[in-house]
Amino acid sequence: MLTRTFVRTVAASAAVVVLGACTTIPVTTDYNPSLSVASCHTYAFAQEHMANADEPAAFGNPLNSDRLRTAIESNLAAKGIERAADRTAADCMVGYAMGSRQVINDYYGGFGVGWGYGWGRRGFGGAWGYDGPWVSNETRITVDLFDAKSRKPIWHAAASQSVSDLTGPNAEAKINAATAAIFTKLPVAGRTAT
């Protein structure tokens, strides 16, 4: 009897691990059909927007910005796109952004709180439940490629994921995962844009 329970527990644990491995980070993309990522052999980062005294910074984490930039560099290198030694010699410019926001899910349009009653085999009973709106934190990461000469956009991608703690090693792992998901959608020579 003990071995049967043990086998069931191991099987259930394995199923949870397998289902967890199947989850992916959703990525949306868009592209300019008149331009191609294949023209990007070298890149430089677009100038970052810096907040000044007239424009106070939000609650962003500059460490996460550095983590994102490092993840982008790594993924571009893996695709064979090298960083240009000189900005003026780059084929493409890379822009990126990361931000968090609270998302409210109001599945039932305000009709989520309710109660019910009825007769059953054991008599009369009732229940109350809450299935109304809930709030979650979402972090969105975007990467954009621009033609350096014409300054026209070539490709845009965005990944969203729910996060509860975006600091330290946890932040690095989540940023790397989202960036890797984005770059699986980067169209390379011989493939169409996705």
Domain ranges of the chain: 23-106+125-183
Could you tell me the two tokens for 156? Answer: 């845009």
Residues 6+ apart with CB under 8 A from 194: 29, 185, 187
How many angstroms separate the Cα of 46 from the Cα of each of 9, 69, 72, 122, 145? 52, 11, 13, 69, 9
- Compute the average pLDDT of residues 81-87: 94
- Report if pTM > 0.75: no
pLDDT band at residue 108 using 50, 70 and 90 as cut-offs: low
Question: Which residues face 28 on adjacent strands?
Answer: 158
Q: At what angle do helices 168-183 and 62-78 cross, to 10 degrees?
A: 40
**Could you give the percent of the chain with pLDDT greater than 70?**
58
- Compute the average pLDDT of residues 111-134: 53
Residue with the bigger pLDDT between 27 and 123: it is 27
Q: What is the pLDDT of residues 143-180, one digit of tens each?
A: 999 999 999 999 999 998 876 677 788 889 999 999 99
At the top level of CATH, which class does the domain 23-106+125-183 belong to? alpha beta
